[in-house]
Amino acid sequence: MNEYTRPYCCPEPRCTPIHQGGMPDEIQPGISFICFGYLPEPIPFIYDGHPHRNDLSSCWCSALKGVVRWQENAEDWWRTGEDYFSALDKLPLIVIARLQKGTRDYVMSRRQTETGDEDLVLLAEEKKE
């Protein structure tokens, strides 16, 4: 696993960060990011007679909402990921790939045309320095 620094706003001291998205080098007002982590001791609970074991955590830090923490497990992450991709499929224009080739980055998207067909669109071409 990669080493990640615990965010300044982390509410769970037992959590070990394993991935961070949108985490800037320097925190600035209005910034939002997400942190995923592993809990060495699972948090078990029973809901409606069914045992559930959470050994993962994700925190969404937003300037608007503050920190929202989820106690989860791998199945939760898998299903959530599938749901996000299913929701993205419903959008008429989404980024589907960010290709890095040589000294350029290409941001591609899928778009539904007026006839209902789909085509790829180049959204941006960025030269790396």
Domain boundaries, the chain: 1-90, 92-129
Q: What is the structure's pLDDT at 21? A: 84
Max avg pLDDT among 29-38, 89-98, 107-116? 29-38
Q: What is the pTM of this model?
A: 0.66
pLDDT digits (tens, 9 = 90+) for 60-108: 998 888 899 999 999 999 999 888 777 766 665 555 555 555 555 556 6
Q: What is the structure's pLDDT at 120? A: 62
Q: What is the DSSP string of the chain?
A: ----PPPTT---TT-EEEEEES--SS--TT--EEEEEEEEEEEEEEETTEEEEEEEEEEEEETTTEEEEEEE-HHHHHHHHHHHHHHHHTSSEEEEEEEEETTEEEEEEEEE-TTS-EEEEEEEEEE--
Does residue 33 have a pLDDT over 60? yes
Does residue 55 have a pLDDT over 60? yes
